[in-house]
Amino acid sequence: MSPAVAGGKGAALAKLATTFPVPAFFVIPTEAFDESGLKAEAREEVKQGLLRLGAGPFAVRSSGREEDGADSAHAGQFETELKVPTDDVPAAAHRVWKSGFSETLAQYRVAKGLSGAPQPPAVVVQVMVEARAAGVAFSADPVSGDRSVTVVSAILGLADKLVGGEADGDSYRVGVGGETLDTELVGDAPVLTEAERAEVAAMARRAAEHFGSPQDIEWAFDGAKLHMLQSRPITTLGSGATASGDDLTIWDNSNIVESYPGVTSPLTFSFARYVYSHVYQAFSRLMGVDVKVVDEHRAVFENMLGRVDGRAYYNLLNWYRALALFPGFKANRKFMEGMMGVSEALPQEMADAIAPPTESGTERFFDNLKFARVGFGLIWHEITIRSTIDKFYERLNAALARPNDEVDALSAMQLAAEYRHLERQLLAKWDAPLVNDFLCMIAFGAAQKSMTKWAGDDGLAFLSGMLIGQGDIVSAEPARMIQAMGAMVRGKPDVVKRLAAGDRTAVDATPELRVAFDAYIMKFGDRCTQELKLESRTLHDDPAQVLMAVAAAAAPKAASEVVVEQRDLHELVPELGKRVLARWLLKWAKARVRDRENLRFERTRLFGRVRRIFLAMGARLTEAGVLNDPRDVFNLTVEELLGAVEGAGITTDLKSLVRLRDAEQKAQLARPDPPERFSVRGAHISGLAGLAMQTVTPGESSETRKGLACCKGIVVAKVRVIEDPRFEALLPGEILVARHTDPGWIAVFANAAGVIAERGSLLSHSAIVAREMGVPCVVSLKGVTQWLKTGNGRGWRGAIGIVMAETDVARRAAFDIIRYAQVWEDADILVAALRPKAGDTVVSIASAGDNAFALLAEGPERVIAVDLNPAQLACVRIRVAAYKTLAHGEFLELMGSRASGRRRHLLDQVAQTLSAEDQAFWAARKDDVLKFGVGGVGKFENYFRLFREWALPFVHNRETIDALLRERSPQDRAAFYEKHWNNWGWRQMLKLFFSRFVMGRLGRDPAFFDHVEGGPAQQVARLTRKALVDQDPSVNPYLHWILRGSHGEALPRALEVEWFETIRERLDRLEIRLCTVETLAEEGVKADAFNLSDIFEYMSPEAHEKAYGTILAASNPGARIAYWNMMAPRRVPASLAARVRTNAELEAKLKPLDKAFFYSDFVIEEVV
């Protein structure tokens, strides 16, 4: 039977029936059906077929043309009907045929990449086996791929529920001799005897031999007779004889992707493979590995790299095998693993299999002795490193002495000889970069470990800061040159426009620019994007990205940035001995990092020369008619290119080979990247056949994420995500966001206010150049290019690696200023609402910290103060320092609650205990602090100061204000208000000063009003009467500050003397976090109480619903949630109402007591 007529299953059954005991069947072709059922001419044939099969019942199954194929089994995509009586077979067959039109099948075909519309299947009608036991069997282990094991699954009765996943069955692993290797039983007794298992396994293996590939069979025992019901290829299995541990290959590109991103040409890959092989063999010899041992492991070194769908990957196990040759590897494995820089170390058991850990003391002794010998050698290398580098430079300059134009004019044979000369003189003698890289890893690792151990995060930040401004790091020179060229054309819009368009002739606008541009190209012309990929076009060919960068540099920077001063080492490491050692380690690391980066520029020069040689060879072969274009050489390997010139080539039809590779590359570019790490068993080419390509899954939409801080500072600016700097430019003052950068990105750095990269370390190119230029930098922030979008980023604190995205809240609030220098919410009712107790975790919006301190005084185990605004957290930290340093009266003076003539002294006293970053922050605001106190320097406080000093005096004099704030009875307050206070001028002033226009620009952010109706003036007037009449103004701290500019005797809860010492004693329970509640939920924090301030008013209803759901995810059962509303009515969203109970009784009790009178509502909700 042909699959075109009988379908895949029908054709397979026909083939099986010649050899195996297959129950009788016939096939109804797909053409026998239409929408109404069997066609008239087919009904008689079906009737005759049923007579031949006997009385039934029957199994009616699909048999699609692509069903049970090697690539797509279509398992479960069509209908199957069992135990069908004779009279019902036509209708059942029609239902099976119609299942070929289902939406599910169409989706399956799309997911499998199958072309064309789904086709209805043929239908197999087969005699049902009255099964005692049935099941499936795989002729090879479908998980491990081990072809020496057959996996049998069995169930009593029919196997339909087992196949459909509705029931579990026994599982047996059977060896090639029929012996049972492993058993997993569902019941007390096995379904199959050992002999029956062996019989089923033998049938599965015979089916594999019959079809020439591993098979997945269905079988059934009818009494003692075994029947074959169907057989199909195993679609998820690689090829190979067996799958032992030696068959495993682990591919990882987490490090190498920085050098060879994306699809890499055959020429580049073959050259890189050669370089890695020879360089690391030389490195092994330098590390003391015997020459004979290196030669014996040549295959390991030659296969350190692999090519996966056109992308370069590390063969991770071969890297470990190479490292395992080094003396001392067993005792120092973790240290040496750092050489590879992969994102995830090899599992311990795999590493142990490659290099079993030393067990005997004698073995450890000799292993460490060998390592000590290497250590002494490294000391000698450090002593002589300057001489080694100088000799390397001499050798490199001699090898590259021939001018570029002479290289371009060489014949093909001369070019091949030139390349061989570079192999001998440089690639085989790459000693200085190798030795310095290893010494750099040791020096930087030792400095990093010591500074982290002795000074924590501040020590790590100090280490990063020490690397700033070395001046002689060549990587930063291009950015400085671009900035200088930008300054030359600033104020010349026509020239800038031409430069931005990539017009090379624009550099002729001034002689000065022409000279500077030529000098740049002469020195850095080979430092292009993806410079290690030979196919990359250099700046010699296309300087457009430099021209665009110069044009961008001509504009003034627009971002707000603060670069932080470096702390003193004496402060971080006070112990003399440790400080001396730290200073020496830092100096050592600084020197090695500098030489590492400069030597990498020499690698650029070498690769630039190799690129030029290969392109010139392409030109000679094109002139000879062998190639169509000089750049066709990139679709050949080094061996094929040299073979074509030197006579060792296998094929002479290079044009056909280029066409084949070009088509492959186009297909590779159209596919997504493979996973960062994956494993393959068996032959590489077949193991990749079923590899699922990497898909980008959006991460959780957290507003803050943390990466690795490389250069300190605060930046608030828009981000620009750049994938390819050859075609995209960064505007001055923007934050650069990229997956990674290489030296070719340097033109972009010239305009960056900050840098964020998905990949990298403290020694990566992004980090080093950013530090050299003093640009805040965060690296190793995975998924950032999907998380942040061009134009909507906000900023970060580079000191700790925190990055904030622009969110619904961020779009509505400025996060680069102090919005509130004190908290304008009544902590008394907040504490009564949340009732924190011992053992609780409390989350509080930080603002300026007062509410967090008030909650801390109640004795919870943990108070987490969170905010998206770094300036607000600086307000919290200075209060912490003041609580620790000052007496209560001094504290009030510094805050501005009381008048003071000694704030300068108090501020200086507190500042000594702050970090350098906070010292710089408050030094920039010192004049305002001295005038108004710490609590008076925010935007909201300035708004009330304008009201107090410029508006209120036109309506009420000082005596009237003092009289208002005097203690009175409720009746006297009402009379005073009506007679002396609530006059026409007061009412008009309220309308003006608390209008949307004025309040939005001077007090709150204008976008605060995006989700409210009407203006605040009428509400403020109503609520002010409540504060002045219904409540006692004499004890209201907020009224006192608004009307007098200080609290006087009416203090907020956190400033009251009775709580002062309690708060001071419990400051170790306070955590200050630059993040959102959502971030805490992602970290697994569970809280018992939430102070959410009025954050929901800044959100759209959709964002409010999402945020509330996140808060519930971070809540313990019974947790209380409290928040205020001023203008926007916000309560638990309807979709979440079933999970929350409103405490209406407590709300009714506390709302009349709220001294923060401008809020219209105070909400208390409990998680059920």
Q: Which helix (H) or strand (E) holds 595?
A: helix 576-623
Residue 562 · residue 920 · CB < 8 Å? yes
| Count of other CB atoms within 10 angstroms of residue 100 | 22
DSSP secondary structure string, 1121-1142?
A: EEEEESSS---S-GGGGGGEEE
CB 774 within 8 A of CB 563: yes
Distance CA 1081, CA 215 (A): 47
Task: Compute the distance between CA of residue 511 and CA of residue 495 in angstroms, rounded to an integer.
Answer: 13
| CA 318 – CA 324 distance, rounded (Å) | 10
SS3 8: helix
Start and end residues for every CATH 3.30.1490.20 domain found in the chain: 1-128
Exposure pattern of 591-610 as b/e (b: 16+ CB <10 Å)?
bbbbbbbbbbbbbbbbbbbb
Q: Which residues does 228 contact at the CB level (< 8 Å), separation at least 6?
A: 16, 20, 21, 22, 203, 207, 217, 218, 219
Residue range(s) in the chain whose domain bears CATH number 3.30.470.20: 130-247
Question: For residue 540, what are the β-bridge partners?
Answer: none
Cβ–Cβ < 8 Å for 129, 22? no
pLDDT value of position 70:
42
How far, in Å, CA of 9 to CA of 706, rounded?
54
Q: Would you state the pLDDT for residue 69?
A: 45
Q: Which residues contact 918 (CB under 8 A, 6 or more apart)?
A: 874, 877, 878, 911
Instruction: Please tell me the distance from the alpha carbon of residue 54 to that of residue 43, in angstroms, as a whole number.
Output: 17
Query: Taking each helix axis from N to C terminus, what angle separates 3-17 and 194-211, rounded to the nearest 10 degrees?
Result: 130
Query: What's domain 1-128's architecture?
Result: 2-Layer Sandwich (3.30)
Going by DSSP bridges, is the β-strand pair 1140-1142/1161-1167 parallel, antiparallel, or unpaired? Answer: antiparallel
CA distances 131 to 83, 155, 164, 227, Å, are 12, 10, 17, 9
Q: Which residues contact 610 (CB under 8 A, 6 or more apart)?
A: 271, 419, 422, 534
Q: Which structure tokens are listed for 547?
A: 């021209």
H-type alpha helices, 707-764: 746-749
d(CA 373, CA 1009): 72
Taking 50 as the pLDDT cut, the residues of the chain under it are: 68-76, 112, 239-244, 558-565, 693-701, 794, 797-800, 808-814, 1008-1009, 1011
What are the tokens at 194? 């050992």
Taking alpha carbons only, the member of 698, 700, 708 closest to residue 759 is 708
Q: Which two tokens stand for residue 664?
A: 């492959």
Tell me the HSE value of 648 on the side-chain side, using a 13 A CA sphere.
Answer: 10
What b/e string do you get for 15-51 counting C-beta neighbours within 10 Å, with b at 16 or more? bbeeebebbebbbbbbebbeeebbeeebeeebeebbe
Amino acid at 735: I
Task: Compute the half-sphere exposure of residue 427: CA atoms within 13 Å on the CB side of its CA.
Answer: 19
Q: Both tokens of residue 634?
A: 């990139």
The torsion defined by the Cα of 881, 884, 887 and 892, in degrees rounded to 10, comes to: 40
Q: Which residues contact 571 (CB under 8 A, 6 or more apart)?
A: none
CATH number assigned to the domain covering 130-247 = 3.30.470.20
Between CA 274 and CA 262 the distance in angstroms is: 20
Chain centre distance of CA 600 = 27
Q: Identify any residues that bridge with 752 across adjacent strands, giving them in sequence order.
A: 734
- Interatomic CA distance for residues 335 and 439, integer angstroms: 13
